[in-house]
Amino acid sequence: MTVTLRSLETAVPPTILVQPEARDVFAAQPGLTRLGQRLVRTCFDSAAIDTRHTAVEEMSLDFHGPDPMFYDGATGLLLNPSTKTRNDLFATEATALFVEAATKAVAACPDLDAADITHVVTVSCTGFFNPGPDYKIVRALGLSPSVQRYHLGFMGCYAAFPALRAAKAFCEADPEAVVLVVSVELCSLHVRTSNDPDTIMGSSLFADGAAAAVVTARALPLTAPALELDHFETVLTPVGEDSMAWNIGDHGFEMVLDTYVPKIIDDHIVGALEPLLAHSPELNDIPYNEIRHWAIHPGGRSILDKVQAKLELSDEQLIPARETLRNFGNMSSATVMFVLKHILEQPASQAREPICGMAFGPGLTVETGLFTKVGPPASVPPEVGQTVSAQSASAQEELAIQQAELALIPDPQSTDPQPTVPASRA
């Protein structure tokens, strides 16, 4: 049985953070030490990020409203709201993005509609509310009230792969299942000013975004590129439990992102890939750089650098991850879905193209996935004498008449009729 991701859509809040402008705001905050100011400039400038999106409209330099809670544009001060204030905004803004991304993903499946959805799986680690986003999607999209709903919460940046793995399992258990997977992360709700290196690193990287996919094993015609969900694996590295964490504080969620994380990934990435590639002997026996597509979660520039060097991947193979990081930053669990969408939208050179994906998170956890990119049958330009199914009946008839007339014209070089021989075989 083949389980296929039929559509993959993304959404982001409208407010854009320009990295140099955000750097200057954070570097100008009172209370920063000279070392803190240097760390802010270094982290923001070396992040390989141009723009990010935020659900906090106040963070825009163009916003001027009463009673700011996150950023006071009049004074240039970053404020420090309570966890409740941050989570209240999450409940409002995340709901809008969950519904937007889900609506786009369902609309992108021409042979499916909302009535076909049997399962909803939602993902987020940046806020909580109940009834949750799974409920909100069912109500907003008018799904059946009997739709099965699941929420994967507080897992971190790798959570999209467990969500897709669950969708695959549902479809294998019920071939008629249609699973809607939606991830929304509003990381920017939890940024703050600090001299702590982990907090500064997080403020320079994290952003807001959403992604949604429709997954099914139903035998439907391919009208656009899609992903076959082949295999998933999970590996816990033997070290790193304290190097990446996500804790709840009184003034938002607190990120632990040790500078040792890229070294841990460098040491253990090959071992993490072994159980995944063991499922595919044809991929297991070739160099990593001969697997054309790599969907790597861009947790940060240094992580991408380590993965690329360790696996000897080309610059071209890192384009989807690096461009996602450059244009959107690290959106936690939604980010690798943006990378997969980038790969889906690339022109295909083969009918079936393998993709190796990976994402990292607290633990240190490495989630990996094998996908196959497939597309609708390619249209082939007609050659002389060929009949093409895409042509109309009248066009085919006209072509037949022209060929018959040509057959009646004698060869000026001979009085005997000669067989027509294709030039490539003459």
Q: Which helix (H) or strand (E) holds 87?
A: helix 83-107
pLDDT at 64: 84
In the chain, which residues have pLDDT < 70? 377-426
pLDDT at 260: 79
pLDDT at 389: 34
Strands 178-186 and 119-124: parallel
pLDDT at 257: 80
Burial class (CB in 10 A: 0-12, 13-18, 19+), 138: buried
pLDDT at 58: 95
Q: pLDDT (tens digit, 9 = 90+) per residue, 223-233?
A: 999 999 999 99
At 269 the three-state DSSP class reads helix
pLDDT at 386: 36
Which residues participate in catalysis according to the annotation? 157
User: pTM score, two decimals?
Assistant: 0.88
* Closest to 364 measured CA to CA, from 286, 222, 266: 266
* Closest to 209 measured CA to CA, from 188, 179, 236, 178: 188
Q: pLDDT (tens digit, 9 = 90+) per residue, 248-293?
A: 999 999 988 878 799 999 999 999 999 999 999 999 999 999 999 9
pLDDT at 259: 80
Tokens linked to 230: 């082949």
3-state helix, strand, coil in the chain (%, to 5): 40, 25, 35
Q: pLDDT (tens digit, 9 = 90+) per residue, 56-111?
A: 999 999 898 899 999 999 999 999 999 999 999 999 999 999 999 999 999 999 99
Apex 56 CA angle, 136 and 12, nearest 5:
60
